[in-house]
Structure 1
Amino acid sequence: MIEERGRVLSVEPGAVWVETVRSSTCGNCAAKAGCGQELLQRLGSGGSRGFVRALTDRQWQVGDEVVIGVPEDALVRGALWVYMMPLLALFVVALSAQALGGSEPQVILAALAGLAFGFVLVRWHALRASRDPRLTPQVMGAAGFSGVPLTNL
């Protein structure tokens, strides 16, 4: 389970909206000198606030500090869909056009059409997955003391 601390901003039946502070882990990475994330972090865009709708069975009050979680396998499957499906569709359609004897411009246009189709598939899958409670962030419980107060949110 991937967990993140946050503060409850609003409450609705069966869910809460939680504000989190996204931060980079560049301080712990060995490749930080050659990574664009380090530059973005130094420019100030790495600590932006995130707003997440999380499902819950408990009653929370606005201002409560909570821990929200997402299953790791959901994150991995989502990343595979987002990154692999457009590329897979691009290659399948381009190779099919080439196998059917298409000229180079036709293969390029087919590849672009395949890429667009891959993005449409990703969007369709995202809409389907957004209704699945197993893939939606859940409130794990109240945030315990970890030495870092959330008062600076």
Structure 2
Amino acid sequence: MGAPLIEHRGVVQRVDDGVALVAVETAGCPSCAQGSACGVGKMAAGRPATLLTIPVSADIKAGDFVLIGLPESGLTLPALLGYLFPAFAMLVGAWLGACLEGSDGSTALGAIAGFLGALAVARIVIGLVPGLTPAPQLKPLANPSTPFPKEHYHD
């Protein structure tokens, strides 16, 4: 058995040249029970679904229900680079600003420089290191147990 996956349900909107456009539920992961407090739901800005483009290797067509899975173990390092590293760099930058100049302004500028520098470094590292961000897995879902909000059209 493979590594545990973080999964989101979705519906394939279309498939073109080996890439599927998938509408993904944005109410949050059912396992974490965060609902509207989930970051995915907030990024969707109240829309019932957000669209993702995902490479397709299986026989998947428009209208199919799918599970989009990411391995849990593959998300640790990108999360550290995206969240912990900028926060740490901001503190180091603030400390350096305070040590060099000693004013509140230099401390704030040091914190801003550390934070922005860390974001730039993280972005470059994630882009350059192959395999750092896991590729999503698309699995067909034979019998969806609950309807997907995007599919209900009321006239």
Give TM-score, length-normalised by structure 2: 0.70
- The gaps in structure 2 that reach 5 residues or longer are none
Deviation at 1:94, TM superposition (A): 2.2
Q: Summarize deviations over 1:52-110 as a string: whole Å, max 9, x none.
A: 222232232111212211111233333222211211111122223334x4222222211
Q: Residue 136 of structure 2 aligns with which residue?
A: 137
Q: CA, structure 1 residues 133+69, in 2 after alignment: closer, same or farther (shift >3 Å)?
A: farther
Q: Residue 24 of structure 2 aligns with which residue?
A: 20
Q: Quick check: 1:103 aligned with 2:121?
A: no
Query: Greater relative contact order (Cα 8 A, min sep 6): structure 1 or 2?
Result: 1
- Answer yes or no: is the 8 Å Cα contact 2:13–2:20 preserved in 1: yes
> C-alpha separation between the residues in 2 aligned to 1:19 and 1:136?
17
- The gaps in structure 1 that reach 5 residues or longer are none
Q: Residue 91 of structure 1 aligns with which residue?
A: 91
**What's the secondary structure of 1:10's corresponding residue?**
strand
Q: In proportion to residue count, which structure has more helix?
A: 1
Report the residue type matching 2:143 in the other structure.
F
State the identity %.
23
Give TM-score, length-normalised by structure 1: 0.71
**What's the secondary structure of 2:83's corresponding residue?**
helix
Deviation at 1:2, TM superposition (A): 1.0
Q: Residue 70 of structure 1 aligns with which residue?
A: 70
Deviation at 1:117, TM superposition (A): 0.9
> C-alpha separation between the residues in 1 aligned to 2:17 and 2:143?
27
Paired positions, count = 141
Report the residue type matching 1:64 in the other structure.
D
